[in-house]
């Protein structure tokens, strides 16, 4: 009887151990099981991945006729520099999250793009910035909206992801969190650019809305109207976004924007909404969008593209086209996306006349495009 008791005493914990390890094995099997899109999340062979990066600097009515050669050169140089920043990180074995942040920080500091410095103005004459980042390996994400003093909203989004228990912070609270984690703060005048201000003035006139005073700290108004290449109509959507795949096989996505010119009522677009303008998962793909955010939110564009890849086994390009060309274009949901998948597929799709865009893969050449007729 005593021997029997001893056996039971041994057998119970043993059975428990077997049970636990069974769970552990099946959990491991779940995370490493190949999906319909192919072996995109395996833990093995990770070092065999070639890195890849795709980025955008906004989509819209961008046509050769509306662009001076100098402006075009500057845009291409800005895209090339951001691509290079991401490539440098990825090439030394850095993570896709690091690559996305590095490239977006450059674009945020480039006054040509509608993010950080160069952000468009809201109707009240302020700059209100939105950004998001998502790590496809951990499915963690961070986002901020209506930020007004943080130099790099993308780094703030990353801090939300890594240093807070939350996903989305807005307004003064988001800037306060930025200060608490030591991110650089700037006055509103830091974001000021003359061409964005002129765009606001034109747009407000068009909408018969009052024109606010020039922001404090902005340079004095130019004597003659700035005849820059920018008008509200042609470069309306200059949001920036980057998606990357690193050598470890992990994807990430990030987006940063000033939103839409003359936006009101603390409007927030799709960029900081996870699944709308930004999404990344090692199970499917990483997406960053640009365009009229309201459509991207309602059609959960980024997540829908990844869901088509994940559950329907669609090729990345086909999935992106299915949403951008087939769903959004007919309802005038202007815009586009960039995409990368853990198996190295890269894609972009836009239903506007142009999209500032660039891509590169390990060992390959940089491809930069602006107009529709470029490859």
Active site residues: 239
Q: By rule CB under 6 A, what count of residues binds ligand ASP?
A: 16
Exactly one of 51, 75, 177, 237 binds ligand ASP (CB under 6 A); that residue is: 237
Per-residue 3-state assignment (H helix, E strand, C coil) for 47-81: HHCCCEEEEEEEEECCCHHHCCHHHHHHHHHHHHH
CB-nearer residue toward ligand ASP: 58 or 342: 58
Residues 6 or more apart from 280 whose CB is under 8 A from it? 134, 135, 136, 141, 243, 251, 252, 253, 286, 287
Token pair recorded at residue 336: 């586009």
* Secondary structure (3-state) at 162: helix
Binding part of the chain for ligand ASP, among 3-11, 17-25, 225-233, 266-274 by CB under 6 A, reads 266-274
The dihedrals phi and psi of 238, each to the nearest 5 degrees, come to -105, 20
Exactly one of 111, 269, 353, 354 binds ligand ASP (CB under 6 A); that residue is: 269
Least Cβ distance, residue 259 to ligand ASP (angstroms): 4
Instruction: Report yes or no: 340 and 45 within 8 Å, Cβ to Cβ.
Output: no
Exactly one of 95, 271, 349, 351 binds ligand ASP (CB under 6 A); that residue is: 271
CB-nearer residue toward ligand ASP: 41 or 271: 271
Residues 6 or more apart from 218 whose CB is under 8 A from it? 189, 192, 197
Cα separation, 342 vs 15, in Å, equals 38
- Considering only the C-alpha atoms of the chain, give the largest distance between any 2 of them, rounded to a whole number of Å: 103
Quick check: 352 binds ligand ASP (CB under 6 A)?
no
Instruction: Report yes or no: 341 and 284 within 8 Å, Cβ to Cβ.
Output: yes
Running DSSP on this structure, what letter comes out for residue 164?
A: S
Per-residue mark of binding to ligand ASP, 178-217 (x: CB under 6 A): ----------------------------------------
Quick check: 256 binds ligand ASP (CB under 6 A)?
no
Token pair recorded at residue 267: 């409007």
Per-residue mark of binding to ligand ASP, 315-344 (x: CB under 6 A): ------------------------------
Exactly one of 230, 270, 283, 321 binds ligand ASP (CB under 6 A); that residue is: 270
Half-sphere exposure of 5 (CA within 13 A, CB side): 2
Per-residue mark of binding to ligand ASP, 70-109 (x: CB under 6 A): ----------------------------------------
Cα separation, 15 vs 111, in Å, equals 64
Exactly one of 78, 118, 153, 259 binds ligand ASP (CB under 6 A); that residue is: 259
Exactly one of 116, 142, 153, 291 binds ligand ASP (CB under 6 A); that residue is: 291
145 φ/ψ sector (left φ>0, alpha ψ -120 to 50, else beta) = beta
171 φ/ψ sector (left φ>0, alpha ψ -120 to 50, else beta) = left
Per-residue mark of binding to ligand ASP, 107-146 (x: CB under 6 A): -------x--------------------------------
Exactly one of 143, 200, 260, 308 binds ligand ASP (CB under 6 A); that residue is: 260
Instruction: Report yes or no: 270 and 276 within 8 Å, Cβ to Cβ.
Output: yes
Least Cβ distance, residue 129 to ligand ASP (angstroms): 10
Lookup result for tokens 């894609």: 347
CB-nearer residue toward ligand ASP: 115 or 319: 115
Quick check: 239 binds ligand ASP (CB under 6 A)?
yes
Binding part of the chain for ligand ASP, among 3-11, 45-53, 144-152, 291-299 by CB under 6 A, reads 291-299
Residues 6 or more apart from 61 whose CB is under 8 A from it? 233, 234, 235, 236, 352, 353, 354
Quick check: 290 binds ligand ASP (CB under 6 A)?
yes
Exactly one of 94, 153, 238, 254 binds ligand ASP (CB under 6 A); that residue is: 238
Q: Which residues contribute to the site for ligand ASP (CB under 6 A)?
A: 58, 114, 237-239, 257, 259-260, 269-271, 277, 290-293
């Amino acid at each position: 009887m005593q021997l029997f008791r001893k056996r039971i005493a041994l057998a119970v914990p043993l059975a428990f151990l077997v049970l636990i390890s069974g769970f552990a094995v099946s959990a491991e099997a779940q995370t490493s099981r190949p999906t319909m899109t192919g072996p995109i999340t395996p833990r093995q062979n990770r070092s065999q991945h070639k890195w890849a990066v795709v980025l955008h600097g906004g989509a819209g009515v961008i046509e050769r006729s509306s662009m001076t050669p100098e402006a075009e050169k500057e845009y291409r140089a800005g895209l090339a520099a951001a691509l290079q920043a991401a490539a440098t990180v990825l090439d030394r074995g850095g993570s896709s999250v690091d690559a996305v942040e590095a490239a977006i920080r450059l674009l945020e500091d480039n006054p040509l793009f509608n993010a950080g410095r160069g952000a468009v103005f809201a109707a009240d004459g302020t700059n209100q910035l939105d950004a998001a980042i998502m790590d496809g390996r951990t499915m963690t994400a961070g986002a901020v909206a209506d930020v007004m003093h943080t130099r790099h909203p993308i780094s703030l989004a990353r801090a939300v992801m890594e240093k807070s228990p939350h996903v989305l912070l807005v307004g003064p609270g988001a800037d306060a969190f930025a200060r608490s984690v030591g991110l650089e703060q700037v006055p509103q005048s830091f974001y000021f650019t003359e061409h964005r201000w002129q765009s606001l003035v034109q747009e407000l006139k068009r909408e018969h809305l009052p024109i606010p005073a020039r922001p404090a700290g902005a340079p004095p108004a130019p004597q003659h109207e700035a005849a820059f290449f920018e008008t509200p109509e042609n470069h309306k959507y200059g949001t920036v976004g980057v998606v990357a795949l690193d050598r470890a096989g992990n994807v990430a996505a990030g987006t940063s924007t000033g939103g839409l010119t003359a936006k009101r009522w603390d409007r927030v677009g799709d960029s900081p909404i996870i699944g709308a303008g930004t999404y990344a998962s090692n199970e499917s793909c990483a997406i960053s969008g640009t365009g009229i955010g309201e459509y991207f939110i309602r059609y959960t564009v980024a997540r829908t593209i990844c869901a088509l890849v994940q559950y329907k086994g669609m090729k990345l390009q086909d999935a992106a086209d299915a949403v951008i060309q087939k769903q959004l274009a007919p309802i005038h949901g202007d815009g586009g996306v960039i995409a990368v998948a853990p198996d190295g597929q890269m894609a972009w799709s836009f239903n506007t006349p142009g999209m500032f865009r660039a891509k590169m893969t390990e060992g390959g050449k940089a491809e930069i495009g602006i107009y529709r007729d470029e490859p």
